[in-house]
Structure 1
């Protein structure tokens, strides 16, 4: 799948959750567009996928901790600063009914998904404000930010929170040239396959999510701020997500 053409030559981009499926696509797309990328993930072994690429620096750490967020920005300042922050880090594997989820697990999901985005977004905003310049934040949300998954209450709450955080940044800091937008992708898999619950009839490629990030962080999206871009093949537009169940209802 070919990349959308954007020029990020000389730009410095921070990608979190970089070792994951979407994270790897984000790093690849931004470097293909000419950017220098700091790839951060809690999975140190996963970061080895970037090898010796001179355009990619890596840093392992849990971004829910302030000292790690501080270390990330110390690294960025030593290497020329930051132009684009992509908040992609997330704990996605928890599948627990709301009535059964423990406070500890709830807090862990909130920390990994929402606290990390807050810590980095605030530091990015302060960095740009102090430098007298603007910048772009792109955060990964989900259809769960506005609709509920089964057994993923904590995850959905974090995605709704990320969307609210982006709106707050847009309203409070837009006058400084700081933009914050979200991408809400659905059914992202490594290889595209048919999907009957998505109006487009197929899943979403991670590269399609990354291309949306390139757009939102670019001057082409200069008037988009506090926006949620649904990269979901029409899933969010559909009233019911299971065509078979919808057909059954029509027959009853």
Structure 2
């Protein structure tokens, strides 16, 4: 699948969750568009996938920790550059537990990984841009679960709804300074696109399509998009039911 053409030469981009499927595509697309990318992930071994990639630096650490969030910006300063785009992609996605069975410690861990990390980096980014008297762009990964419930993923869905609310707050409070915050809510992202009967488009979403959407949202082409959630889901959010066999029923 060919990349959308955007020019990020001279810009500095931070991508979190950079060792994962979507994260790898984000790093490749932004670096391919000319950006200098800082790829961040708690998985130090997973970050080795970026070894030798032109324009890519890596940093391993738990982004739910303030010292790690500080280290991200220290690395940016040490590299002699600021920040133009923050892409909040890191998340715990594997938990599948009925709400009645979730322990408080598990709930807190998912909230920390998915939502606290977004807050810690985003607040540092907006402070940097505000104090520098310049704008910047935040793109955060949400999910269809930010507005509709998955089965047995209540805490994940809560964090994604929180990310969307935080993005709206940033847009409202800081939009006048040229600071934008938007979300992408992708569905069924897999490495190799395959048929999917529960999605109106009839197929899953590729990581590269998510990355291309991020390139767009962070670019001047999206200058008037702020506090927006882009549903990159092949029409899933538009559908009343995801089970086509139930479509004959009336509501």
Instruction: Sort the TM-score into its range (normalised by shorter chain).
Output: over 0.9
- By how many angstroms is 1:245 displaced? 3.3
Determine the C-alpha separation between the residues in 2 that align with 1:59 and 1:82.
Answer: 15
RMSD of equivalent CA atoms: 0.8
1:106-158 deviation digits (Å, cap 9, x = unpaired): 00000000000000000000011111100000000000000000000000000
Gaps of 5+ in 1: none
Determine the C-alpha separation between the residues in 2 that align with 1:7 and 1:195.
Answer: 33
Structure-2 residue corresponding to 1:169 = 170
- By how many angstroms is 1:54 displaced? 3.3
Structure-2 residue corresponding to 1:199 = 200
Structure-1 residue corresponding to 2:66 = 66
Determine the C-alpha separation between the residues in 1 that align with 2:233 and 2:226.
Answer: 20
Determine the C-alpha separation between the residues in 2 that align with 1:141 and 1:13.
Answer: 19
SS of residue in 1 equivalent to 2:172: helix
SS of residue in 2 equivalent to 1:38: strand
| Contact 2:31–2:54 (Cα < 8 Å) also in 1 | no
Structure-1 residue corresponding to 2:138 = 137
1:20-54 deviation digits (Å, cap 9, x = unpaired): 00000000000110001000000000000011123
SS of residue in 2 equivalent to 1:67: helix
Structure-2 residue corresponding to 1:2 = 2
Determine the C-alpha separation between the residues in 2 that align with 1:55 and 1:228.
Answer: 29
TM-score (norm 1): 0.97
Determine the C-alpha separation between the residues in 2 that align with 1:162 and 1:44.
Answer: 25
Determine the C-alpha separation between the residues in 2 that align with 1:233 and 1:52.
Answer: 34
Determine the C-alpha separation between the residues in 2 that align with 1:223 and 1:77.
Answer: 29
1:53-111 deviation digits (Å, cap 9, x = unpaired): 23100000000000000011111122201100000000000000000000000000000
Matched, 1:29 2:23: no
Structure-2 residue corresponding to 1:244 = 245
Gaps of 5+ in 2: none
Structure-1 residue corresponding to 2:53 = 53
Determine the C-alpha separation between the residues in 2 that align with 1:166 and 1:221.
Answer: 15
Matched, 1:232 2:218: no
- By how many angstroms is 1:186 displaced? 0.1
Alignment of 1:102-117 (within 5 A): 102-117=103-118
Matched, 1:43 2:56: no
1:167-195 deviation digits (Å, cap 9, x = unpaired): 00000000111000000000000000000
Runs of 4+ deviating beyond 4 Å: none
SS of residue in 2 equivalent to 1:235: coil
Structure-1 residue corresponding to 2:124 = 123
Determine the C-alpha separation between the residues in 1 that align with 2:179 and 2:99.
Answer: 36
TM-score (norm 2): 0.98
- By how many angstroms is 1:244 displaced? 2.2
